[in-house]
Amino acid sequence: MLEFGGWRKIEEITGVIKKVQRQYGLGDVFIFGDGNRFTAFSLKAVSRRRAEKILFATGSMNLNACKKYGCTFMRVGKTVGMNGKVTRREPELIRVLQSDLRGQASRTHFEFLSSLGVKVSGEKMEFCGARKERLEFVHAVIE
């Protein structure tokens, strides 16, 4: 899960992602945006250390969170402020960077993306991990 600030141009982000996609053998990379930030991820299953290397190589904003919590997060819904107004809209799929995925892919994340209506091909993928029921959703309320 890569996270970039909205001040960066999508073309710049795409170039950086394509480079690590080739270097680390990532499969298709899905890029989402909400106007303030861009989030990108691949279904390729990698170790925590390798994920940290990918985050570092891309200059991702969530490297420290990965080191601290051992995982990364993606906001999938809108953010509502204290006054009840939407402060950040829900992320939408902007672009898919195609690649040939070889090796293992996360079954959980594949099923989750499919349930959102994102067209993901399961061909050439060897799935690992639990089904989407095991995916944790965190609803945070910060006062």
Could you report the per-residue pLDDT of 56-66, keeping only the tens digit for each?
999 988 888 88
In tens, the pLDDT along 68-118 reads: 887 777 777 777 888 988 888 888 888 888 887 666 777 777 777 777 777
Q: Quick one: pLDDT at residue 37? A: 87
Most confident segment among 16-25, 67-76, 103-112, 125-134: 16-25
CB atoms within 10 A of CB 111: 20
Burial (CB < 10 A; 0-12, 13-18, 19+), residue 88, is middle
DSSP helix/strand/coil, 33 = strand
Reported as a pLDDT band with limits 50, 70 and 90, residue 136 is low
Beta-strand pair 29-33/79-80? unpaired
Q: How many residues does this entry show for the chain?
A: 143
